[in-house]
Homo-oligomer: A and B are copies of this chain.
Amino acid sequence: MPIAVRKIDRTQQPLAAEFAELGVATVHEAQGRKGLLDHCLRPIYRPVSVAGTAVTCEVAPGDNWMIHVAVELCEEGDVLVVTPTSNCQDGYFGDLLATSLQARGVKGLVINAGVRDIATLTEMQFPVWSAAVCAQGTVKETLANVNTTIVCAGQRITPGDLVVADDDGVVIVRKDEASTVLEKAKQRVANEEEKRARFESGELGLDVYDMRDRLAAKGLRYVDTED
């Protein structure tokens, strides 16, 4: 039988706040290139960048009932993550649900399905990453789990995990790895700043990353013309 889990172990909010400035690509790299949701999930407006703690929600195809259950379990700083139990691109979510989430301090929605009212959502500046924009409405007939471990867009997500999302997509950081990943991501940003300066001054990646010998060793042959 479906369950709704009331108490989840959230990543600490101060950590979440720091992730918001790092960006998805940096975080994804810093944690060893894991946790990235399928790139079919796209933001409904740009630019946008948020980080928050996951409240997870399964929904039946064409049925958004459990989103209402999930809203009550959301707290300030959360990101709601919704996944259908089978593929569906209906418009599960619109401006009224967004109003409700925004009133609770929820930072955004990640949904492997469709959303609607995107003109209003954009005006409200309520961030959404979705697989589709679709005005097709949904029913309220079938139960599913809220705040259990789910798979969404190819990634396993445990309630309380950190969700980082921006123009590039959405990445999940496991709550027990958040502080370690944060440190590595900050180092990466610092390192990239130094590299950016070198690139701006005209240095080449071949030299910045010391690639020439290895290219030659692998057999790359420079020629003057194709044949």
A28 close to B169 (CB less than 8 A): no
Contact (Cβ within 8 A) A89 B39: yes
Q: Which of B94, B136, B143 contacts A39 (CB 8 A)?
A: B136
- Whether A199 pairs with B134 at a CB distance below 8 angstroms is no
B3 lies within 8 A of A221 (CB)? yes
Residue of B at shortest CB range from A45? B46
Question: What are the residues of chain B within 8 A of A218 when measuring CB–CB?
Answer: 143
Q: Are A134 and B205 in contact (CB under 8 A)?
A: no
In the bound complex, residues from chain B placing their C-beta under 8 Å from that of A15 are none
Chain A, interface size: which category? Answer: 35 or more
Chain B residues with Cβ below 8 Å from A203 are: 100
* Cβ contacts under 8 Å, A119 to chain B: 23, 46-47, 49, 166-168
Q: Are A6 and B103 in contact (CB under 8 A)?
A: no
Q: From residue 137 to 168 of chain A, which have CB atoms closer than 8 A to chain B?
A: 137, 139-143, 147-149, 151, 154-156, 159, 166-168
Residues in B with CB closer than 8 Å to A116 are: 24-25, 168
- Asked if A184 is at the interface of the complex by the 8 Å CB criterion, the answer is no
A221 to B6, CA, bound (A): 10
Which of B94, B205, B223 makes the CB contact (< 8 A) with A5?
Answer: B223
